[in-house]
Structure 1
């Protein structure tokens, strides 16, 4: 469902590369428990629209799958970067981020998150070199 509001926070942020674009992955809590039930993912590379993330998921998932499976694929890539260190550019223990929300999905506990919120993301602590587009080995 498209949404038109901005979310901001300070939390752990993983910055990772995928298919020529650099993305950010953070978590957000909906209440005072601070459990990070919302995964926040978005492109950090200048000029890349947030819809590129969902286009990658459509390309990489099986034909005729819907937004639920695409959301799981996106979450799996962010979680892979966080836990395995695959294609990580930098990890911040605490960084200030903003997300101009574009699309939400229910994850139902997948990768220990209940929700996925995607959109145009910024992270104050990254440098232009860290988020610059690059030439990937594989394309999607």
Structure 2
């Protein structure tokens, strides 16, 4: 299994409620299907806990960790599919720092079986690209 917290795969950058996030995929085997979503903040000074705070704030009060993970996955998927991106690479290096979370969806969700979150770095990003963005919603 290729369960490494770093890779060189299709990667994109998008903003969500003022925070710039990276979204990449990881593969569970040599077929390179991208069964795992990797999402994390790229904005300097923003910790992965901010991503989970957003997921909790924008979800129902009784949301489980899986519900919150599905919300995070849906936001990354929406940005990618709708083209609401700051950048996109067919292949870019990325690295997920220790201390994040891994959540299995219990089945296929947005073409992914798992979500890995953590503080992320993506090659090719620039300081202007990852700087905080204005947000309409104060969360």
Output the TM-score relative to the length of structure 1. Answer: 0.92
Q: Secondary structure at the match of 1:48?
A: coil
User: Does residue 99 of structure 2 align to residue 73 of structure 1?
Assistant: no
Aligned to 1:136: 135
Structure 2 residue aligned with 1:41: 39
1:139 positional shift: 2.4
Cα-Cα RMSD: 1.1
Aligned residues: 134
Tell me how far apart the structure 2 counterparts of residues 74 and 52 of structure 1 sit (CA, whole Å): 11
Paired with 1:97 and 1:137, the residues of 2 have a C-alpha distance of: 29
The Cα shift of 1:134 comes to 1.8
Within 1, Cα distance between the matches of 2:72 and 2:104?
12
Counterpart position of 2:62 = 64
**Structure 1 segments unaligned to the other structure (5+ residues):** 1-5
Structure 1 runs (4+) deviating above 2 angstroms are none
Listed as ranges, the gaps of 5+ residues in structure 2 are: none
Structure-2 separation of matches of 1:73 and 1:134: 20
Which residue of structure 1 aligns with residue 86 of structure 2?
89
Quick one: distance in 2 between partners of 1:134 and 1:32?
Answer: 37
What are the superposed Cα offsets for residues 50-83 of structure 1, whole Å, 9 maximum, x if unpaired? 0111110000001111101101100000000110
